[in-house]
């Protein structure tokens, strides 16, 4: 176990954490602020990845292999798809029980997975790392992929933008007021339906950013949204439902713990048990760490690490 390996894994954990934040921020807007349970959020992340990969791999207006064009198509397509789904399907469920929302959005997961298989096929769909970011950056004598640094930078910029939007703008004020008392905000003449649509579009846009960032380092395939959705739910519950700040810090904590645990826990177990047993039990035990973290947090702080403060 070397200090270089530790630094690399800390950076990997930070990169994974900001990717989780991009998803958690969007889901927090929909789940925590709109009080709508959207299990299809991971599928919208998947569709954003597919949109971006398709735009990267196919000529559009004579341009092919452009990461900027892939970003425009991936994020823009996610926002448009989210707004269309919200207007056609989900808006009728806002006043319904959470069980109805769960069933409806679970159905959307199945629909999106089949749509992805039908259009792009059942096999993995790849998107290359942009050529200008294909190298590495030397940090403290350690080479680390430039693209993964970009993911970290994008996540931090999004976090700053979300903070400024929620805390420093009129729209942010309306979002916070609507989360506290939507009826009163509506009585003041604010179009709550339009506000919800904008929130949902923003949330799916953030999922599209996550899909765009994940495309070059993960294989884009049907069903890729479900595993990360589970971890994202752990993040927002641990951080505090409805709290963007909680989603940010919890995402970083979960990302680092999950990454460090998967690498170093099997190594630690080999010092205590036989190597074959450690190799078998290590990954399984490591995968439990984030759920144990959530259980401990909820035991001592049921509202999460950074609960929303109303008023």
Percent of the chain's residues with pLDDT above 90: 26
| Mean pLDDT, range 266-294, rounded to an integer | 75
Cβ atoms < 10 Å from Cβ of 223: 15
Write the CA distances from 251 to 17, 159, 189, 191, integer angstroms.
5, 11, 36, 32
How confident is the model over 188-232, as pLDDT tens digits?
Answer: 777 777 878 888 888 899 999 999 998 888 888 898 888 899 999
- Count Cβ neighbours within 10 Å for each residue of 29-66 and write b for 16 or more, e otherwise: bbbbbbebbbbbbbbbbbbbbbbbbbbbeeeeeeeeeb
Q: 16, 18, 38: which is closest to 28 by C-alpha? A: 38
CA distance 103 to 138: 48
How confident is the model over 150-191, as pLDDT tens digits?
Answer: 999 998 999 898 888 888 888 777 777 666 666 676 677 777
Q: 38, 24, 26: which is closest to 239 by C-alpha? A: 24
Q: What does pLDDT average to over the chain? A: 84
| Mean pLDDT, range 36-57, rounded to an integer | 90
CA distance 47 to 212: 10
- Give residue 179's pLDDT: 63
Q: 0.85 cut: is pTM over it? A: yes
CA 306 to chain centre: 18
- Give residue 81's pLDDT: 93
How confident is the model over 76-91, as pLDDT tens digits?
Answer: 999 999 999 998 888 8
- Give residue 116's pLDDT: 92
Domain boundary assignment for the chain:
3-300
Specify whether the CB–CB gap between 142 and 4 falls below 8 A. Answer: yes
Which of 2.20.200, 1.20.1740, 3.30.390, 1.10.3470 is the CATH number of 3-300?
A: 1.10.3470
How confident is the model over 104-137, as pLDDT tens digits?
Answer: 999 999 999 999 999 988 887 888 888 888 888 8
* Torsion angle of C-alpha atoms 21, 286, 43, 194, degrees rounded to 10: -30
């Amino acid at each position: 176990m070397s200090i270089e390996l530790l630094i690399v894994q800390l950076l990997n954990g930070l990169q994974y954490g900001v990717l989780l934040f991009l998803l958690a921020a969007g889901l927090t807007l929909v789940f925590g602020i709109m009080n709508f349970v959207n299990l299809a959020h991971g599928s919208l992340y998947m569709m954003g990845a597919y949109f971006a990969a398709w735009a990267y791999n196919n000529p559009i207006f004579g341009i092919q292999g452009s990461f900027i064009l892939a970003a425009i198509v991936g994020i823009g397509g996610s926002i448009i798809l989210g707004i269309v789904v919200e207007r056609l399907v989900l808006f009728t469920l806002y006043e319904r029980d959470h069980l109805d929302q769960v069933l409806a959005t679970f159905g959307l997961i199945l629909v999106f997975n089949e749509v992805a298989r039908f259009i792009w096929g059942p096999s993995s769909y790849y998107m290359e790392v942009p050529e200008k970011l294909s190298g590495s950056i030397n940090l403290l004598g350690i080479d680390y992929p430039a693209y993964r640094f970009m993911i970290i930078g994008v996540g931090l910029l999004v976090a700053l933008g979300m903070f400024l939007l929620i805390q420093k703008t009129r729209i942010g004020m309306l979002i916070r007021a609507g989360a506290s008392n939507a009826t009163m905000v509506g009585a003041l003449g604010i179009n709550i339906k339009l506000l919800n649509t904008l929130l949902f579009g923003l949330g799916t846009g953030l999922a599209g950013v996550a899909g765009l960032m994940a495309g070059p380092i993960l294989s884009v395939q049907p069903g890729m949204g479900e595993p990360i959705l589970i971890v994202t739910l752990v993040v927002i519950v641990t951080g505090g439902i409805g709290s963007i700040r909680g989603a940010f810090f919890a995402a970083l904590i979960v990302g680092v713990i999950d990454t460090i645990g998967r690498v170093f826990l099997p190594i630690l177990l080999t010092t205590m048990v036989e190597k074959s047993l450690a190799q078998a039990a290590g990954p399984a035990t490591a995968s439990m760490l984030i759920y144990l973290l959530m259980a401990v947090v909820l035991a001592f702080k049921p509202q999460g690490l950074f609960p929303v403060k109303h008023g």
